[in-house]
Amino acid sequence: MNNEILIQELNVFNNLRHQLQIQDDVIVEGLDEHCFAIRKKDVSQDLDVEILFCALTHGNEVIGLQIINLILSDIVEHKLNVNGRIAFMLNNVSAYHKNKRFCEQDLNRSFMSNENAQSNYEINRAKEIQSIILRLKPKVIIDLHQTIEPTHSSFFVIPESLELVTLCHNTNPLWPVLCFDSQGFSSDGRTLLEFAFHHHIKCFVIEVSQNGFDRIKAMEVSKLLQKKFIQDSIHIITSQHKSHSYYLIKQKLVKNGQENDHYKMKRKFINLDKVEKGECIAESVSGDKLVSRYKGVILFPKSDERIDDYQDVGLIAQLVEKA
């Protein structure tokens, strides 16, 4: 992606922050270089944050910044009234400047880490983010992501929780909800979702679309989040838990680990493609077949161009019908 476009969108964020700072009726609380909370002057700073919007947890998933800028623009232009206290955070701007997923290691596998790696940017940044979140005590965190491969629709990712399934369904019942169990999302480390869940903070990821800026999609999501979480936040946050269908991640399709054993996908998959039990998803030169053990959908499938860069080729999730 053109670096000039990246700089322009970040400058929009910084300019909107400055415009809020000079408005007479708004207080801007700077929390770090890329995080701030806003409230009206008659709202106490001691009030817990209603919503924390996060973007750029992965530096090359840029639409979250675009969505946040659209929300901020409507606040600046007085098209959107903020009654409580809300916050915005860009999680990995260093990786964003490089148009890379991360600098040294995946930020979204670096939370709740006991490592004392002073020189590791992502571990240190995760600790900074954790500290800010515990200080803000948000009622809800919305972490905005994008898929690398195309997707049939936007979708939610959460820990398996009836409360969070209900929250996602109330946000947009047309988007599938993908859950992971108590073993965690990845064996490589803990995510922001898991940190929030551990501290009893409601949090969900929205995988908005394929990588890249998309103003039409960003506007659609921005308007949805404004309506649900700024204009009508009390209703959606406190709504009664109900039973809804969701998908549960059941299988990670992992290569055999043999060096130079090249894999090829059996067909071009996109996110949320349906798969059958026993369907071969990928096969190696040596004949190792990665087969789905479940009927369901595939998540985060790898393309043939990227398959050599990863140890897994995708996840399989199975539908859990509502009770």
Distance (Å, whole) CA 250 – CA 257: 21
Distance (Å, whole) CA 247 – CA 224: 22
Distance (Å, whole) CA 164 – CA 162: 6
Average pLDDT, the chain: 94
List of residues 6+ apart from 251 with CB closer than 8 A = 292, 293, 294, 315, 316
List of residues 6+ apart from 218 with CB closer than 8 A = 63, 66, 67, 70, 208
Distance (Å, whole) CA 80 – CA 307: 44
- Give the pLDDT score at 233: 65
Distance (Å, whole) CA 178 – CA 135: 29
How far is C-alpha 235 from the geometric centre of its chain's CA atoms?
23
Q: Which domains does the chain have, with CATH numbers?
A: 3-238 (3.40.630.10), 249-320 (2.40.50)
265-320 pLDDT tens trace = 999 999 999 999 999 999 999 999 999 999 999 999 999 998 998 899 999 999 99
207-230 pLDDT tens trace = 998 889 999 999 999 999 999 999
User: Which residue is listed with tokens 């500290």?
Assistant: 131
Distance (Å, whole) CA 89 – CA 189: 21
Distance (Å, whole) CA 26 – CA 227: 20
The pLDDT > 70 percentage for the chain reads: 97
pLDDT of residue 231 exceeding 90: no
- Give the pLDDT score at 243: 84
